[in-house]
């Protein structure tokens, strides 16, 4: 029968959850800074930007600490959980790389550094969500069994791959390419719709098993394309343009969390 999570596993799940929450703050503050400057740098309120940058720096620093703690906890249990140890090591290396990039390029980084920072941050978000899902797997032994679990796992993995591609396209569109380029906009929109469709299908299937993550997937899968469409059609409508990347990041995190959880080996009492 399934066993309750051990103390080290609970600590690992808690560290992953804290790191993920902090990374969401980093992503949100980064989106606010980027949108404020892109919309009209002269109209941006200095106090708002100063506050946002302060929040961004503080959250990024705390994320680095949380990821370090997460890596230490994962490495202590590396023998029975090698994939967790490897993923936490990758998260730590990515965190250090992003920190070094931020220090080296400052507040006015070149386009390539902007892309690396934005896409790297989304990859880190996905890694932390995956680690949280893997560490929390089986935490609710009374949960209904998943119908067609192998098929759902393959569906989630495909949606996650498309989600990573979407993150790369979105980061490139925000930093390297013109948002008005028809080819870029078309690729971003088509891949986004495909990702949302798979996430929605996964959420509907998980709702039948009464998994709480299902409702987050359904909401994000419906809201992200809607916000993106409004942003594109109404000349980057401010609220939609700011919310769209956050919804995309949330979709990526939810897909990664489910992927991490459904691939975890069962624990026996």
In a domain, 211, yes or no: yes
What's the alpha-carbon Rg for the chain, to the nearest Å?
19
> What is the pLDDT, as a whole number, of residue 182?
72
User: Is 55 within the bounds of a domain?
Assistant: yes
Q: Report pLDDT for 268.
A: 39
Phi, psi of 178 (to 5 degrees): -75, 130
Is 133 a domain residue? Answer: yes
Q: Does some domain include residue 1?
A: no
Residue 268: inside a domain: no
Number of domains in the chain: 1
Query: Is residue 189 a part of any domain in this protein?
Result: yes
The answer to whether residue 14 sits within a structural domain is: yes
Q: Largest alpha-carbon pair distance within the chain?
A: 62
User: Which pairs count as long-range contacts for 33-39, CB under 8 Å and 24+ apart, including other chains?
Assistant: 34/118, 34/174, 35/238, 35/241, 35/242, 39/236, 39/238, 39/241
Give the global pTM.
Answer: 0.88
> Tens of pLDDT along the chain (269 residues)?
444 557 778 888 899 999 999 999 999 998 888 777 765 544 445 667 788 889 999 999 999 999 999 999 988 875 557 788 899 999 999 999 999 998 888 777 888 998 999 999 999 999 999 999 998 875 555 455 676 788 899 999 999 999 999 999 988 888 887 766 777 778 888 999 999 999 999 999 998 888 889 999 999 999 998 888 777 776 555 666 678 889 999 999 999 999 998 865 544 34
State which residues form the domain around 46.
7-262
Q: Are 227 and 250 in contact (CB under 8 A)?
A: no
Instruction: Assign 268 to helix, strand or coil.
Output: strand
Q: Is the dihedral of CA 98, 101, 107, 112 positive or negative?
A: negative
Residue 269 resides in a domain: no
pLDDT digits (tens, 9 = 90+) for 6-17: 777 888 889 999
Residues paired with residue 268 on neighbouring β-strands, in sequence order = 2
């Amino acid at each position: 029968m399934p066993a309750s999570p051990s103390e080290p596993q609970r600590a690992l799940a808690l560290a992953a959850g804290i790191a993920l929450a902090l990374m969401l703050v980093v992503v949100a503050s980064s989106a606010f800074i980027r949108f404020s400057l892109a919309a009209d740098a002269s109209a941006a309120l200095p106090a708002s930007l100063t506050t946002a940058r302060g929040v961004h720096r503080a959250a990024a620093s705390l994320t680095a600490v949380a990821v370090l703690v997460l890596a230490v906890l994962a490495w202590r249990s590396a023998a029975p959980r090698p994939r967790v140890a490897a993923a936490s090591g990758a998260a730590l290396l990515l965190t250090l790389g992003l920190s070094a990039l931020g220090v080296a390029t400052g507040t006015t980084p070149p386009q390539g550094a902007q892309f690396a920072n934005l896409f790297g941050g989304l990859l880190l978000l996905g890694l932390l969500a995956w680690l949280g899902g893997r560490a929390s797997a089986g935490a609710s032994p009374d949960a209904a069994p998943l119908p067609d679990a192998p098929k759902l796992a393959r569906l989630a993995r495909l949606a996650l791959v498309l989600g990573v591609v979407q993150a790369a396209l979105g980061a490139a569109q925000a930093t390297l390419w013109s948002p008005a380029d028809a080819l870029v906009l078309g690729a971003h929109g088509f891949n986004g719709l495909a990702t949302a469709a798979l996430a929605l299908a996964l959420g509907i299937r998980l709702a039948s098993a009464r998994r709480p993550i299902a409702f987050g997937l359904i909401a994000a899968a419906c809201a992200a394309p809607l916000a993106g469409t409004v942003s594109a059609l109404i000349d980057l409508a401010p609220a939609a343009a700011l919310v769209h990347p956050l919804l995309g990041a949330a979709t990526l995190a939810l897909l990664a969390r489910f992927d991490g959880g459904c691939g975890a080996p069962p624990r026996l009492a």
